[in-house]
Amino acid sequence: MADGPQTPASRASATLSPGLWYRWSRVAMVGLLLMLQLYFVASHRNVHVPQPSASPPLRHKHSPQAGIKPLIDEFLDENSPLRHLFFPDIKSAIHPANGSHYYRPGHIWLDTQGNPIQAHGGGVLYDETSHTYYWYGEYRQVGVIGVGCYSSKDLWTWQNQGIVLSAQQINNETHKSNMLERPKVIYNDKTGKYVMWMHVDDVHYRKAAVGIAISDRPTGPFQYLGSRRPHGFDSRDMTIFKDDNGVAYIIYSSKMNTELHIGPLTEDYLDVRPNMRRILIGQRREAPAVFKYQGTYYMITSACTGWAPNEAKVDAAESIMGPWETIGDPCIGGKEMFRLTTFLSQSTFVLPLLGLPGSYIFMADRWNPAELNDSRYVWLPLAIGGRPLESNSSGSQSPWPRVSIHWHKKWRLPLSWRL
């Protein structure tokens, strides 16, 4: 290594013993992270969801900073002194009894019975018949015991509807599944059935298939129909999307997570049609969340880093079958190290707000590898509108409007919003 100018740190390392230098460095790093975290917690006001702005400031391209790795190391370390900042305890839980309607990203969220909500990796269905939202997700204890369902009229107070599909039903297959992840439910207007698709796998993630289940009611019980590999390819993180014309699509990570595949479902939503398009080839993206605004399709994904959080990216397309173009990181607010880790979370779903065009709720999971059943929910306002990102994946000016996920320590929906 070439010699360079000495800094105060390099001079200190030359005079301290190796043991003292290691302890000094460790204390300094923990102190720095703690200061950053406390600054982050204290520096954001309580706000309502912002509406799309005509001209938000341009954002510049950036690369992950070296400081992110120590943050993620602390995040993944269950013995870290900063653990309570990433995973606040029950004392600060979101409780429907207080009636504040404030979302607190990363905090424990309780249902109407006072129990932590278990709907990880999930999605929300709005049922037009009952005018009710249904939130489906992984119901976890030590492992996944099934798909949990919660109902709400206001997107804040959630009533537990129980396990609508048990993991035991899936495990009765000839090739047993040990994993049930990312369940999503859509309604088929022609058959009158509620159809659930999910990722099913073994403990080593070698099965890599999708499971399908149906029900006559949004609260189940769902009947499990079996699993398959869509289009004959391995399938891991996945989602389904129902378009305005009633055609539904599956989007899934494939080829060992090196690319995404997308294709329409059959008319009854119980299988895939043969036509399929490979997208984001070689980009190693997962956790797709798809939504549509003014005829344009958008998709938020994460990189493949296990349970560790990473930078979100948005892709846009004029046709859902592509081509898709990467338009940048949508995260805004907070310290840069939080933006570059999607606020220490991973995307799972984007929920449109009825009556507020261009406004959505970004749903994500803050995974707790030490106790996955204690993983948290990060719900944040997402808006579309205003000037585009400064450049797109090709380095030229992006033609797409801006997609913005705004960080807030505490926020709620506009008082004018009604179901």
- Over the chain (419 residues), the average pLDDT of each successive run of 10 is 37 38 43 45 41 36 59 92 94 91 97 97 96 96 89 96 91 67 98 97 91 97 96 98 98 97 98 98 98 96 96 97 95 91 98 90 96 96 75 62 94 78
The pLDDT, as a whole number, for residue 158 is 97
Distance separating alpha carbons of residues 287 and 301, to the nearest angstrom: 5
> pTM here?
0.84
* Helices 18-42 & 8-15 angle (0-180, nearest 10): 140
> Which residues, other chains included, contact 25 with Cβ-Cβ below 8 Å and sequence gap of 6+?
none
The pLDDT of residue 27:
42
> Which residues have C-beta within 8 Å of that of residue 16, sequence separation ≥ 6?
24
**Burial of 325 from C-beta contacts in 10 A (0-12 / 13-18 / 19+):** middle
Question: What is the structure's pLDDT at 172?
Answer: 67
CATH number of 83-406: 2.115.10.20
For the stretch 95-153, pLDDT in tens is 998 888 999 999 999 999 999 999 999 999 999 999 999 999 999 987 788 999 999 99
**63 phi, psi to nearest 5 deg:** -120, 150
What residues contact residue 320 under an 8 Å CB cut-off, 6+ apart?
241, 243, 249, 262, 290, 297
Token digits for 241? 């999307």
Query: What pLDDT does residue 414 have?
Result: 86
Residue 296, phi then psi, degrees to nearest 5:
-105, 140
Q: Is the peptide bond before 414 cis (omega within 30 degrees of 0)?
A: no
Instruction: Give one DSSP letter per residue of 57-79, joined into a string.
Output: PP-------TTHHHHHHHHH-TT
DSSP 109: B
**Contacts with 298 (C-beta within 8 Å, 6 or more apart), sequence order:** 290, 291, 292, 314, 315, 316, 350, 384, 403
Distances (CA, A) of 182 to 108, 201, 248, 290, 346: 20, 12, 17, 14, 12
| Sequence spans of domains, the chain | 83-406
What pLDDT is recorded for position 165?
95
Instruction: State the Cα angle at 305 between 360 and 322, rounded to 5°.
Output: 50
